[in-house]
Structure 1
Amino acid sequence: MEAVILLLVMLAGVSNAFLQAGETKCNITPNSSLCSVALGGSVSLQLMTNASGRRLDFKKKLSNGFMNVFSLKKGKVTVHEAYRNRTEFLISSGTLKMTKMARNDSGQYSVEVFDENGIKLRNVIFTLDVQGNIWHILIPVCSAVAALLMVVLCCWVCCKVRRHKKTGKNTSNLDMNSLEDHQSTECSMNRTPHIVLIKC
């Protein structure tokens, strides 16, 4: 029984490890077009090597225009309210980090880069695709099946042990009865000559 509990704990640990989506890294360049991210995971977007002395506008394209995700002006990062607490931009490395990715984060984004004089240096457009994680469905199902099989196996082993004990007990009783019958037969045979002698 202890082995079964230990196995179930191990299965839970493996499931948890798979369910925790990892981090995706994408290098956003003029030639990049798609960045795929796992649902519930995080993403690091390399916008440039160093954003010091630059002005950035990072926006998401909507049906009626664009929505600001974050902006960098005069060394100050301003994150839109909808992305706060899960978005961080590192100026020294030019990396944007986003966590807890949701399906509505999918879409087309643009990165506009300006120099210190406000002259546009480049405008990169790419698509962020948040994909569902199949392990969120597969792992719980496999864990449930494995747990059920372990319970069935445990019951089968217990039944086998009980039958073995019962069979052993019956065999012992049978051996004792056979021994008693054998002893009774010997006693009868030993008494028979005496009876015959008395009759003579």
Structure 2
Amino acid sequence: MTSVIGLLLMLITVTDGVVTHCDGRQNGAQCYGALGGTVSLQLMDDFSGIYRYQLKAKNVNVLSGRNNTPPVIIMKDRSSFIPSNGTFWIHNLSRNDSGEYELQTFDSNGKQTENRTLQLLVQGVVTHCDGRQNGAQCYGALGGTVSLQLMDDFSGIHRYQVKAKNVTVLSGGKKQQPVIMRKDRSSFIPSNGTFWIHNLSRNDSGEYRLTTHDSNGKLIENRTLQLLVQAPVSSVSLVSECLSQGEMKVSCSSEGGDSPQYRWTLNGKSLTEAKLLSGNKQTNIITLKQHVSGRLVCSSWNHVSSASKEININNCGFIYIDCTINGTKISKWVFKENNTLCVEPTTEKQSIMVGVLSALLIFLLVGIAMICTRKKTPIVKAEVGDQELIYTDVRIVKQQSKKLTRKPCEDVDVEYGQVKFRERPQHMDTAADVYAMVQKRQGT
């Protein structure tokens, strides 16, 4: 099949993004690349026979080389070159890569043998639409590229044409090359039946009609598709606000997008109605119940793009109280810092506990003292016949009425109390008299 003069473009979606292939072997070729993607520029069939060459972008050398020497690539981290098939690759495209690229070749005498240019335009969003069914609805991103799959293959179609708003934008046939009305913004690949529109504007929206005819001019097929160009969503912002009863109001807004739609997730799962006081998971403003917390994500999207934003939310400092005061049941959410309801009298309870523990400690100490005193109670023994006379609690009392100086042990009254008799043990021959806790008391 005869190739398209000027531009042959094909976009392939791969894991690393969009890869754009452009035939730049014709002077003035228009090429397109996807933002963040890769473009392959077919500069020549083979550079191995070229004595010296250089490629400039905005008058700056980005590629140079000569026969039998390795090429010099300025942007090694984002560019690559295959001399044997004449392709120059630019990866991770940015808008700064857009512009004019000029290729110059020279012979061994330094004479210029070729000088041609191509234009590269890096665009934001590339969309694909299957338009092989009548009435298909397709979408394109404002400023981006749309690929319309019109047929599997046009190589066997005798004559065809595509009209947009009753104006022919593409025509061709089995024995003639395709005619593209807007060559600066459109391209066509008959072998895979795709029609590309680049740098989309809102004027590109509307109905596109494809008609095919046989060799006798008879109409074979007549079908349409609708193309709608939308501005892509550029960014999303989230604003949260705590309400008076502990609820949380969250607003989600997007910038730049046409007809944005919204969806919410909480901790990686779709937000359920049970966690909402108002709104639903498809509106941009929701009110969450008091107990809801975690990672909240709002996604804004339309048919050509999407963006999202996340925040971590908590319970706004509210607590749920449930108690009965003076016979009245109280169950509600309150702000913890200002709450005076259902508060346990912790101070009074602590005072009571301290008192109880103190009393127990006192009783314990008194008990220990009594036990120790009882163990140390003196016992005084004396013998009376075959019996022992036992004196306990012996006290010596001072005489209070006389203040005479006396020798120790003179005129001392001795009191005995708790006198008990018991049988003398048979095995004891003698026993010593034992007197303890003797207290002196002066005679009256």
The structure number with the bigger radius of gyration is: 2
| Both structures adopt the same fold (TM-score exceeding 0.5) | yes
* More strand, by proportion: 2
Q: Which residue of 2 aligns with 1:152?
A: 272
Change (3 A) 1:93 1:18: closer
Q: CA RMSD in A?
A: 3.4
Q: Which amino acid aligns with 1:145?
A: R
Candidates 103, 111, 125, aligned match of 1:111: 103
Cα displacement (A) at 1:92:
0.7
Identity of aligned residues (%): 32
Change (3 A) 1:67 1:31: closer
Candidates 53, 60, 70, aligned match of 1:67: 60
Q: Which residue of 1 aligns with 2:88?
A: 96
How high is the TM-score relative to the length of structure 2? 0.27
How high is the TM-score relative to the length of structure 1? 0.56
Q: Which residue of 1 aligns with 2:78?
A: 86
- 1:6-56 deviations in whole A, cap 9, x for unaligned? xxxxxxxxxxx9995311000112344311111111111111111002121
- 1:40-84 deviations in whole A, cap 9, x for unaligned? 1111111111100212110012xxxx111110123320112xx12
Change (3 A) 1:145 1:25: same
Note if 1:127 corresponds to 2:119: yes
CA contact (8 A) 2:27 2:118 kept: no
Secondary structure in 1 aligned to 2:77?
coil
Change (3 A) 1:130 1:117: same
- 1:130-172 deviations in whole A, cap 9, x for unaligned? 112369847998896264893236769xxxxxxxxxxxxxxxx
Distance in 1 of aligned mates of 2:77 and 2:261? 33
Distance in 1 of aligned mates of 2:261 and 2:81? 39
Q: Which residue of 1 aligns with 2:181?
A: none
Q: Which residue of 1 aligns with 2:29?
A: 33
CA contact (8 A) 2:27 2:117 kept: no
Change (3 A) 1:116 1:88: farther
Secondary structure in 2 aligned to 1:72?
strand
Distance in 2 of aligned mates of 1:96 and 1:72? 13
| Greater relative CO (CA pairs within 8 A, separation 6+) | 1
* More helix, by proportion: 1
Cα displacement (A) at 1:110:
0.3
Change (3 A) 1:51 1:143: farther
Q: Which residue of 2 aligns with 1:12?
A: none
Change (3 A) 1:93 1:131: same
CA contact (8 A) 1:53 1:116 kept: no
CA contact (8 A) 1:21 1:39 kept: no
In the alignment, structure 1 segments of 5+ residues that lack a partner are 1-16, 157-200
In the alignment, structure 2 segments of 5+ residues that lack a partner are 1-12, 126-140, 145-231, 237-253, 255-259, 277-444
CA contact (8 A) 2:23 2:29 kept: no
